[in-house]
Amino acid sequence: MNTYEEDFNLQKFVVPKVTGFATGSPVIASFFNLLLFSRQTPRVFLFIVNLTSQRLWRTYLKYLLLWITTICVVHFLDLQDDALPKAEGGLLIRNLNQAQLIDFNDFRAAGVVSNPDIDQLDSSIWRIQGLSDGVGQFGGNYSSGDWVRGAVRKGVRIGGIYAFDLSFNNALDWALGFQPTGSDLSAGSLAIRIVNQTSYTVDKLIVGFDLLFRNNEERSTKISLSYGPDDIHFLSIPNAAWVSEDASVDGAWWERKSCEFELDQLVVPSNGSFYCRWQIEDFAGSGRRDEIAIDNVSIQLASTTETVPEPESLVWGIVLAGVLVGAIRARKK
């Protein structure tokens, strides 16, 4: 088993932060929810009455104005965020330093759709391009022809997307598979969209996967991995390209390569998206093409520096601390 680990000094990508709601600021909404619906509302009003009864309303008013001013500032920042495009789905990563595994064991090549069944791919996460039966896009629905070649164990020749059965000794093992032909996937690509929902800005991505070739034909295929802050601009990764053999082998079974890469020149804020892409293309030889597959995709978000909560969380912490300190000092006077 070959594991590829590289420490890259690559261009730093800054992914735009995507926050807020289309209908207004979540900060303002939280403020009014606190006042109108919280079980602590009676205590809040009793506290206010207590302050005014002691003729300390000026002190209370000073800290109330500070609170309202801070809310307005945060609301203004949220309005600036509203001008940015909103996250449109993807593989949601909610915890730092915890790998999320996609093993394709339920996939049966029944389509790539936005609301998938267990045997389909989720098009909000995956995008496949290069098929003759339609140009794949994130969020699209593709459920016929090349997109639904089904589940197989033996060799195939018709171009399209397959679920290849790699099971051995009763161990369940399925993979996302491709059969390139002259009109399908030569060239083509598989892309994954990753969304940082950890509430932290992350600067390190660890991606792992198994790459498989079945060398049953005379033309070789090249697979290369790249990454980027959107689904348009991708940067190649050194030593992240693999080629199948061009001379076929009778009765060929799958050759598996286990790969892992650490990408640490990133800036992906909370709710920011990030993309990885496997490019498929002809390499050498002539005639029919080898079958290829991707399995056990692992995505992990991490940080090379001490993690710090998002600014909005810090603002609320400072505001609440200020109000509490002010109330304590007012009671002592």
> What is the tens place of the pLDDT at every residue in 181-233?
999 999 999 999 999 999 899 999 999 999 999 999 999 999 999 999 998 99
Q: What pLDDT band is residue 330 in, cutting at 50, 70 and 90?
A: low
* Mean predicted confidence (pLDDT) in 111-132: 97
- Residue whose entry in the numeric block shows the structure tokens 């992350």: 202
Q: Which residue has the higher pLDDT, 88 or 310?
A: 88
- Residue whose entry in the numeric block shows the structure tokens 């969209």: 193
Other CB atoms within a 10 A radius of the CB of residue 207 amount to: 22
211, HSE (Cβ side, Cα atoms, 13 Å): 23
* Mean predicted confidence (pLDDT) in 20-47: 45
pTM recorded for the entire structure: 0.69
* Mean predicted confidence (pLDDT) in 55-61: 59
Paired tokens of 171: 């161990």
Residue-wise burial string across 38-66, b where 16 or more C-beta atoms lie within 10 A, e elsewhere: eeeeeeeeeeeeebeeeeeeebbeebeee
Say if residue 239's pLDDT is above 70.
yes
Q: Which residue has the higher pLDDT, 222 or 1?
A: 222
Q: What is the pLDDT of residue 301?
A: 96
Q: Which residue has the higher pLDDT, 324 or 207?
A: 207
Task: Give Cβ neighbours of residue 127 (< 8 Å, ≥ 6 apart).
Answer: 136, 137, 138, 189, 190, 191, 192, 193, 231
Say if residue 51's pLDDT is above 70.
no
* Mean predicted confidence (pLDDT) in 291-315: 75
Q: What is the mean pLDDT of the chain?
A: 78
The answer to whether 265 and 229 are in contact (CB under 8 A) is no
Q: What pLDDT band is residue 246 in, cutting at 50, 70 and 90?
A: confident
Task: Give Cβ neighbours of residue 197 (< 8 Å, ≥ 6 apart).
Answer: 92, 93, 94, 270, 271
Q: What is the pLDDT of residues 251-289, one digit of tens each?
A: 888 999 999 999 987 899 999 999 999 999 999 999 999
Which ranges of 191-309 does DSSP label H, i.e. alpha helix?
A: none
Task: Give Cβ neighbours of residue 305 (< 8 Å, ≥ 6 apart).
Answer: 203
Other CB atoms within a 10 A radius of the CB of residue 327 amount to: 17
Q: Counting Cβ atoms within 10 Å, is residue 155 exposed (0-12), middle (13-18) or buried (19+)? A: middle
Task: Give Cβ neighbours of residue 13 (< 8 Å, ≥ 6 apart).
Answer: 228, 229, 235, 265, 266, 267, 274
Paired tokens of 165: 């059965």
Round to whole Å and give the CA distance between 190 and 188. Answer: 7
Kindly report, as residue ranges, where domains of CATH 2.60.120 are found in the chain: 91-302
Q: What is the pLDDT of residue 247?
A: 84
Q: Which residue has the higher pLDDT, 152 or 26?
A: 152
Q: What is the pLDDT of residues 150-190, one digit of tens each?
A: 999 988 999 999 999 999 888 899 999 999 999 999 999 99
Question: Do strands 266-267 and 13-14 pair parallel, antiparallel, or not at all (unpaired)?
Answer: parallel
Say if residue 28's pLDDT is above 50.
no
Overall CATH class of domain 91-302:
mainly beta
Percent of the chain residues past pLDDT 70, beyond the cut:
65
Q: What is the pLDDT of residue 31?
A: 46
Q: Which residue has the higher pLDDT, 316 or 304?
A: 304
- Give the containing element (helix H, strand E) for 239: strand 235-243
Distances from the Cα of 34 to the Cα of 25, 42, 163, 318, angstroms = 14, 11, 50, 17
Q: Which residue has the higher pLDDT, 59 or 125?
A: 125
* Sign for the pseudo-dihedral over CA of 224, 196, 273, 295: positive
Give DSSP secondary structure letters for 200-212.
B-B-EEEEEEEEE
Question: Do strands 174-179 and 13-14 pair parallel, antiparallel, or not at all (unpaired)?
Answer: unpaired
- Give the containing element (helix H, strand E) for 51: helix 41-53
Q: What is the pLDDT of residue 39?
A: 52
Task: Give Cβ neighbours of residue 45 (< 8 Å, ≥ 6 apart).
Answer: none
